[in-house]
Copies of this chain bind each other. A is one copy, B any other.
Amino acid sequence: MSPSVETTPPPSDRVRLRRKPGRGHHDRATIDAILDAAPLCHVGVVVDGQPYVTPTFHWREGDHLYIHGASKNRTLSVADGTEVCVTVSILDGLVLARSAMHHSANFRSVMILGRAHRIEDPDTKRARLKGFIESLYPGRWDALRPMTDTELKATAVLSLALDEASAKVRDGGPMDDEADLSWPVWSGVIPLRTALGAAVADAHTPAGTPPPALGMAVAPIPGSD
């Protein structure tokens, strides 16, 4: 994707791109594709004026992003009912230019602002947790030892509407100053990607059981091994 003309306007001034607005996107197709392409997000909350940024897995169903954790988890407890920021970032490449200043990175990122809410209804919570497992490992939920009510109670699921979100994307080569183009140094892009290693079964897995197929969220990008 090249830096593109902004077509969908930002849903709020808070998620308007201030720096390099040409890299900004507010259309849900772009936002959803990034959210669905990586399992890891960073959740920002505020406690006594101090920001805390915690890594955790996320998943998306329709117009909401979900995160989960132990019911006693502090980040989730603080986040419930308060304004949070959830950011998903995928680093796609290192961009090397002829001047230090024009070095850059290719990336895709999404920032979501909003009030997170804990899901209270047990059936809804169970359905969302199933959606999470299925997003990572399609077909796995029904093969697992069923979730108990105690486990369900011990797990918190928070939802965050995608109403106020922005995406930022950079790709392509270095953008050197015209006068620097003849400077004799290697310049270009070194791509980075997430690669899957060989699955390692534990000692109790029945012999001959194949590892699960992975869902979109963790599939390597095309061309990776």
Chain A interface residues toward B at CB < 8 A: 14, 18-19, 39-40, 42-46, 49-55, 57, 69-70, 72-74, 83-87, 89, 91, 93-94, 96, 98-101, 103, 105, 107, 109, 111, 113, 129-130, 133, 136-137, 140-141, 143-145, 147, 151, 154-155, 173-174, 176, 180-202, 204-206, 209-212, 214, 218, 223-225
Indicate which residue in B55, B140, B188, B199 contacts A189 across the interface (CB closer than 8 Å): B199
Indicate which residue in B40, B57, B109, B210 contacts A186 across the interface (CB closer than 8 Å): B210
The answer to whether A100 and B147 touch across the interface, beta carbons within 8 angstroms, is yes
Cα–Cα distance between A40 and B93 once the two chains are bound (Å): 11
Pick the 6 closest A-B CB pairs, nearest first. Answer: A191-B197, A44-B51, A55-B89, A44-B53, A195-B195, A53-B87
| Copies assembled | 2
The answer to whether B205 and A186 touch across the interface, beta carbons within 8 angstroms, is yes
Identify 5 new A-B residue pairs, CB closer than 8 A, beyond the known A19-B74, A99-B147.
A51-B84, A54-B111, A100-B141, A145-B183, A184-B206
Indicate which residue in B45, B100, B211 contacts A144 across the interface (CB closer than 8 Å): B100
29 contacts between A and B (CB under 8 A): A19-B69, A19-B73, A19-B74, A39-B105, A42-B89, A44-B44, A44-B85, A46-B49, A51-B53, A52-B85, A53-B87, A98-B144, A99-B144, A100-B130, A101-B155, A103-B133, A140-B185, A143-B185, A173-B200, A182-B204, A185-B205, A185-B209, A187-B204, A188-B199, A190-B196, A190-B197, A195-B195, A197-B224, A225-B225
> Do A49 and B191 contact each other (CB < 8 Å), given the known contacts A40-B89, A101-B147?
no
